[in-house]
Amino acid sequence: MNLSNINLLKTDSYINGEWVKSPDQKTFNVINPFTNEEIARVSEASKSQVEEAIKHAEDAFKIWRKFTAGKRSRILKKWYKLQLDNAQDLAHILTIEQGKPLNEALGEIKYGASFVEWFAEEAKRNYGDTIPGHARDKRIVTIKQPIGVVGAITPWNFPSAMITRKVAPALAAGCTVVIKPSELTPLSALALAQLAEEAGFPPGVINVVVSSNAAEVGETLCASSTVRKLSFTGSTRVGKILLKQCADTVKKVSLELGGNAPFIVFDDADLDKAVEGAVASKYRNAGQTCICSNRIFVQEKIYEDFLEKYTAAVAKQKTGNGLHDGTVIGPMIQEKAVQFVEDIVQDAQSKGGVILTGGQRQSADSLMFEPTVIANATTDMKVFSNEIFGPVAPVFKFETEAEVIALANDTPYGLASYFYGRDYARIWRVAEALEYGMVGINTGMISTTVAPFGGIKESGFGREGSKYGMDDYLEIKYMCWGGVE
């Protein structure tokens, strides 16, 4: 692996400021999804090491919470600067273990770092209130205090940004963290831990436990009464399990789960802009994001015109090795992900769907799946009800506004949604009617540090980013002062 800073390549867990190996010398492989070659062998954290990390985080919390907001802010800003200074190496590690194109990986590193910068500033704005009292001799004050030790379980599709989006507000609030990254992409998390050490975080404030036994680590974090907050990004199925496991200790929980995003194109839309937005939204990270357009709905009058332009644009997307110049779409993460996409494409074809481009993997032993467009999509197909999580775009036809709103909302998920149109009255109606936590209007790209990211229904709860991103890591304490006369 060609890195300018070879210290960023770590293969052990990071606990209490030390790099620790598995007590029984167990390891697991990290595989490059494009070449299917082993990148590294990573130490397997034991359950006792996870418990040790929690204990050290508890001890460190007693120290870190007493740092002034300004001091925490300065350390966070050092971490931010180190991420930018090492952005090329971090992007290289990310591409090697996750597969996304290098330019896209670099974009993720900068996006992830922006959360650290943002919450370094928000640390100094953790305001309380004074409230008019209910009696002449009473005074009411509220303050906000850090919740305590935070468990953060992060996914493989954004192995850097999903860590910083959770960890930066937790640290800014005065919490300490135990991070469990995906076993498919642990190297990005460990590289961030190395930079955190260089930034000057005290031992135990940031801990990273790497393990291929995600269920055991998750259960340990949930069962611990010391861990007062769990933040998870991943599938709805796993999120429900973790939520149940957190019930016994009544933890504060935030969940960013699956999605089934509609992308609606009304007949008064700027068609070229809609095509551009749909390509960007659908095929970023090979379609492996929770806010990717999952179902594209196009009004009947412009359906054929949209399909022609959209298919032409999709067919131009260059696939291949993420390290090669010009690559726009990299491999899918693993074999079972490709098999799932193959199944839903075959299901669509069997029910009348027409493949306009793509439709298959590039070779029998490859994790590269061709960017695909399916015309004549219908609601009885798996592509309507399932989160696709791959480079496959089913295109549905609709007639009326009421019809498409009903179709768009016909899902248990409620994360992201998109639509294009010019009628301002309709824009307001549709934006209000869509049952989603986020709505992109005449844009296919909505992720930004300054806006609250999160969903409703079975897509979870809690918000990350923006001024609201600190809330889940703070407790409000009410103090009533009597005898003030």
Which residues are designated catalytic?
256, 290
Kindly state the tokens that stand for 447.
Answer: 């992720």
Handedness of CA 16, 192, 284, 315 (dihedral sign): negative
Phi, psi of 414 (to 5 degrees): -155, 55
